[in-house]
Structure 1
Amino acid sequence: MPAADSSKPRRHRRFRRRLRTRIILSFVLLGFGLTTLFAFAALWASKYVENQLVDDVMNRNIDEYVRMHQRNPDAKPTLAVDQMYGRVVNPNDPGSMARLAADYPQWVSMPEGISSYTGTDEANQLLSYKVALRKTPDAWYYLAYDTRRANIAQQRLWWWLSLAVLVFVALSLALGWWSASKVMSPVSELASRLRAYRGSSNPRPLAPHFPQDEVGELAKSLDDYAERLTEVVQRDREFNADVSHELRTPLAIIRGSVELMLSRPDMDEKTRTRIQRIQRAEQQCTDLISALLLLSRNERGHGNTDVARVVDQLLDAHRATLGGKPLTLRVEGEEGARVDSPEAALSVALGNLIGNAVKYTKEGEVVVRLLPDAVEVVDSGPGLSKEDAARLFERGYRGTHAGHSQGGGIGLSIVSRLCALYGWEVGVRPGESKGVVATLRFSPTREASAANPARA
């Protein structure tokens, strides 16, 4: 069964945005939004004002055009604006209306007032103009105004406003970059000072290095948290040291008394067996205390421990507790492998794996295989479910086959923590036919290390 993976899923870095990036992006979006809104407002206002001015000019000019024509119908009225063109049509003359329809078919059905038209001239150039119409019983007065220059001016204004938007976006980017640097500078300094305190058991206060602002308040909160955390860690270390010291004393007394009792030649075999069980239990307690003390201090002890010898001791201890259980314990593989760790740490790690195999295997055998860089514990028990395999190394979790057996579900959690401390690997997988294969690897491979939680 694959090694249980308790590592939390990591968020993809590409979906993460740094605070500095978010500040810069906010400035850019704000600058772009405001300048774009201003550009559209300027274009609309320019177009509106221009239409109002053109309509006003055309209304005044067509009124003047009508008056001039009515005073002297034979004279050609003079227009004050170069882009204007006037025409008078007699609605009662079919020929005049026919010529109007031939030249400007849209004007025939045009309502009185001002209307906008587009079209093309003889050279197929785009035309854009407005036409004002005044109707009398004897004459229709048309006044056309060419709006192409105004449209060109509108296009130029659009290009200039587009350039202004780009310039203001660039300025917003520069301002956002500068502001983000100013805003993030104290935060970055705070993070740098925190990283500098990594591994320190007595970090210096952070608040004096920052002004009385939000970052200063954050520094004060971190100082308070660090102080409380340091107190908790210190109490935990003192407690562990005191418990370790106080437990070692009675264990040393038990060890001395057991050795003294075992030295008596007149002791019967049954009593000797029971006293040897007491001796092995005392050794297990001593090893467990040493391992827990290393874990509490996060201290990696060193040694040159013979793996085969520790396995033999553990198997001998479990053989003595089998009673009439039809279970065979044996060891396979080559001896000679050594591990740079105290014997207590290796004994606790292997002892939990072997103890679980012996505990949950009702009959058959438990085989411990010695490999050059690992130890495998193979049992013929009922195996593990998928849920057990996924949560086996969680603290307090007990498998589906635990039943009413004693234990708080912390043994394999201790193994996992020891592996993380020493850079080992621990994992389980299904056996070839039945049972479980538990592996403790001392030289983790790259592939396995990526999928196993119990590693440094």
Structure 2
Amino acid sequence: MSAPGLLRTERARLTALYGSLLLLAGGGLVALVYVLVGQGLYASVSGVVRTVSPAYRLPVPGETVDVGRSPEPARTMAPGETPTPEELKGYAFTQDLSDAVTDATRHRLLMYSLLALAVFAVLSIWLAWWMAGRVLRPVGVITETARRLSGENLHQRISLDAPPGELKELADTFDAMLGRMEHLVSAQRRFAANAAHELRTPLAVQRAAAEIGLAGEPSPQKVARIRERLIGVADSSEHLVESLLLLAVSQEGLEPGSTGPVDLAALAAAELAADPPHALTVVRTLAPLTVTGDRALLGHLVRNLLTNAVRHNRAGGRIVVETSSDGELAVSNTGPVIGPADVPRLLEPFRRRAERQHTAGEGAGLGLSIVAAIARAHGASLAAEANAEPEGGLTVRVRFPLPDGQGAVRGAPGSKIG
């Protein structure tokens, strides 16, 4: 990396910041020591000099002074008496000596302090560079992992081995994001493969019917049967394409201006009246429930829930449709016993409880995934739970946020889908 590029790295910025702070602290410490030592240095040096050389101390009236360097005995200054010229000369010599020693000490202290500060600057910059590298190491690991990732190795994780902290939390969050991305990519691949398979099957049937059934000179009765078969396959393909388009529209969310008040209780009653289930007992408890949303999409949501409840029911079974004033729509049915582990898969596109048999009225396995997408588009929550034996079946509870003034929205309970 070039020098200009290196200076633009976070490590260089942190090094400059840490180094500047350490140098600032070191310079402040040197200045503080120099000022504090300098304030009392002259008094200390002067006291030492006077103690070592008493003759160079200026006498105070009434004080007995031992000249020390002279064979003369100590004398006592009388009040009002002035020092002799020799004593004044000794005092001046003491002053000059104290000043010289003080200046030399201050100069030596300053030189050593600046030298120590220079060494400290080098060490602080190296320490700041090393410390910045240690701090940013997890970021480098995250960057390298992100650079290696592609659609083929989303299973890789950072798994940062570090003590708890912000960077450890960042790495764990990145790992969790990779898990979600892996799940979404896998779901997208399954969706593409399943959609291709679902669309290829009717095309293959149509081709076989045209090539084999209409080969030669078929009778009018055979042509009628093939015609009916082709129309049925075309209807199935058209329904599949419409379901895929509806799923795509639901996943895009609601368009501005397309929402308004929708009475889900009336919508459910209308769907039941338009296509009443035959040979099934319908139990309805439809309390008033008005939500804000797209009426067409909510109609598909109710219709798919009811269709799913009828299609996967047993002979003489039961369907329960409920709406409540606290924002919940629930549809339950009786039917085959479903394991709890299989319930989440039923909300995925093209996922069924059993393998597809390609029989009439079987469906493409998109009903509940469309319901989930429409619920998400409306800010509603949906969950599924298998009914207990011996009834079996599923129950779906979709909880919608209520408009202002209709009560607080409670947390979504576990839903059962049927």
Judge same fold: TM > 0.5, yes or no: no
Identify, as 1 or 2, the structure richer in strand.
Answer: 1
TM-score (norm 1): 0.35
TM-score (norm 2): 0.38
Question: Higher RCO, 1 or 2 (CA under 8 Å, sep at least 6)?
Answer: 1
